[in-house]
Amino acid sequence: MPDPPDSRIDVSTLEMIADIGRRMASETDLDTLLAFITDHLTRVLEVDRTSLFIYDPQRDELWSKIA
């Protein structure tokens, strides 16, 4: 039977996730915050790009931010 995948998270990944939390608590500009989040998540997930979808319940619309 093959070994299960390694589920440990390295320290740099945890630091990037903590950075996102700190920025969410301090950033007042939504566009700046969303760009920061998508940039960090792209690196954490090790992907080429990330899309962030925002739902506006007042307009019943879904819009995206793409990094």
The amino acid that residue 14 corresponds to is L
Where do the structural domains in the chain lie, given as residue ranges? 11-66
The amino acid that residue 50 corresponds to is T
Task: Give 7 or 48, the one with higher predicted confidence.
Answer: 48
Average pLDDT, the chain: 86
The pTM score is 0.68
- Structure-block tokens of residue 16: 């990037």
Q: Which of 35, 36, 40, 39 is nearest to 17 (CA)?
A: 40
Task: Give 4 or 31, the one with higher predicted confidence.
Answer: 31
